Each structure stands twice: as structure tokens, then as C-alpha cells.
Amino acid sequence: MSAGARVTRVRGFYGVVDLRPELALEHVRGHGHGLEQSGIEGVLAAHVGKVDGPAHGTERERERLLVRGMELARQLLGGGAGVVQLRMKRSPVRVFLDVAAAVQPIVHAAGALFIVNDRLDVALAVGADGVHLGQDDLPLDAARSAAAGQLLIGISTHSPAQAAFAARGGADYLGFGPVYATSTKEDPDPVQGIDGLLAAVSAVSAATAGMGSGAPPIVAIGGITPELAREVAAAGAAAACVISAVNSAPDVTAAARRVAAAFGRRIGAP
Ligand code: TZP
Ligand code: MG
């Protein structure tokens, strides 16, 4: 499938498997998971290479992150996520790689797109559909040449001007926010509000008016709840990225389904 065809699937609910070591640990304890219950042994055998003498604690933590990552991916997909991003801000790259290798086939089996946050090398290594880069990550041009056409490149933007610039530079899709206040991101940029989102939609459309590729989809992010998802959809966002209000919901799948429904997405449709 071409990159153009794939990017049209950035719509509806854009889910994030956001793994932090302490949260994964709490979750596994709270739910009394046995590793055997989750099928983790097969995954470890299939995907995880030998590590040079890991400490016992590191190995256990990796197993927990694998269990939690696969479980959360399945729940987000069950709720109709068309895109699943893996975000692991505080783990060694080898652990990130192992979780990405385990989550990728789950996302692809559901017909959704798999995006890796921050790390282009991990995205390429596991055959992801794309990489998501922030303003301080690899610049778009460098990422484009390193990816050699193999990855969609999404760029985080935090103002209408940044959004227009990234669109003009050929980003495949844009993250835009925080639209509302968030506590998920450390040191977030200023809240943009619905007015900021409306301004970004217009700025991106004006910036790409003469370009054959058209305007890239805008994924609204930051403090979005299932209730607020309708508001960002009405403002012109193609998708909503909801982290805490879905990932911390008592029923993750049901919360995801409500976000997807705000975009009129049929559950189970690719
Ligand atoms: N970028 C801008 S806001 C944000 C990121 C990664 C976090 C969004 O998380 P939440 O929990 O949906 O507010
Ligand atoms: Mg980043």
C-alpha cells in the first residue's frame, strides 16, 4: 500500500500505548497477571534476542512492559483505533525495540497503522508504518532521507505557524496541541484551545493549497476526553489522540469506542 493510501487511515481514534515502567508494574500487580496467561513466553521466544547479561530486575521489567503493551494495544484496537502509536519515554532502546516487535503484528493483524514515537531506528527495525517526531527530535528532512520512503512521518506541532511549516515541509500527518490542558506530557507547550486548532486547520490548508499532495491530516492532542472528541472533530481534526482519558479508563475499549464514534468511525472498519 502506498504512503498516500496509508495516511488516509489517520482518522478517528489515534491510540497510544504509553508505557511507563512504574505504571506497567502497578497494572500487572493489580490484575494478577501470570506471564503464561498472556502468551508472553511465546513472544519472548519469537522476538527477544539475547541481551548481554541483563540484571534480573531489568528482565522482569521488560516482561511486564511486554505484557502491558500487548494488552493495551489489543484494547485500543478493540475500541476501533485506526492508528496505534507506541510511546516509551523512560525505557532503554532495547526494551522499546522488543515491545515494538511484539506490538507490531497485533496492530497489523487488526488492519491498523503502527507508529513508533521518537525513534526512527526502532520504526525501521520492526517494520512499523511510521515514526512520530517532536520539535526536538530528528528534523523532517533528515528523517525523510533516512527512512527512504519506507515510513510515514508525523510531526508534533504546538502552534498554527509550526503546523503550517511542517505541512509545507511535507509531513505526512501533524499532531497539534495541547488543545486542552494535559498532565501526561512533562513540560507541555501552551494550551492552544479550539480556536488554536481552528487556526491550525486554516493555516495548514493555506500552506498546502498549491501542493499536489493536499493538506496532511491533523491529529488533535492534549487533554481530550471522549466527550471533547466531538468538539475537535467539528473543528476539522481528522483524528483525536487521547492518552490518559482512554488508557486510564476502567474500560479502555469502551472509552476508545466513544472517541472513535465522535468521528463517525464504524468499529472494526479498517
Ligand atoms: N503532546 C501534546 S499533549 C500530549 C502530547 C504527547 C499528551 C496528551 O495526553 P493526554 O493524556 O491525552 O492529555
Ligand atoms: Mg518525541
CB of 182 closer than 6 angstroms to any ligand 1 atom: yes
Residue with cell 547479561: 53
105 Cβ closer than 6 Å to some ligand 1 atom: no
CA distance 143 to 264: 33
Distance 34 CA to ligand 1 centre (A): 31
Going by pLDDT thresholds of 50, 70 and 90, the confidence category of residue 47 is very low
Pairwise CA distance, residues 20 & 69, whole Å: 10
For the chain, residues classed under CATH 3.20.20.70 are 134-264
Ligand 2 center to residue 162 CA distance, Å?
15
In the predicted structure, residue 51 carries a pLDDT above the cut 90: no
Question: What is the tens place of the pLDDT at every residue in 159-200?
Answer: 999 999 999 999 999 999 999 999 999 889 999 999 999 999
Q: How confident is the model at residue 59 (pLDDT cuts 50, 70, 90)?
A: confident
Answer for the pair 158, 142: CB distance below 8 angstroms, yes or no: no
Ligand 1 pocket, residue 178 CB under 6 Å:
yes
Q: Are strands 113-117 and 130-133 parallel, antiparallel or unpaired?
A: parallel
Atom of ligand 1 nearest to the CA of 224: 12
39 vs 68 pLDDT, higher one: 68
pLDDT tens by residue, 111-149: 999 999 999 999 999 999 999 999 999 999 999 999 999
Q: Is 3.20.20.70 the CATH classification of the domain at 134-264?
A: yes
Q: Which ligand is nearest to the CA of 134?
A: 2
Work out the mean pLDDT of the chain and round it to a whole number: 88
Confidence of residue 56 (pLDDT cuts 50, 70, 90): low
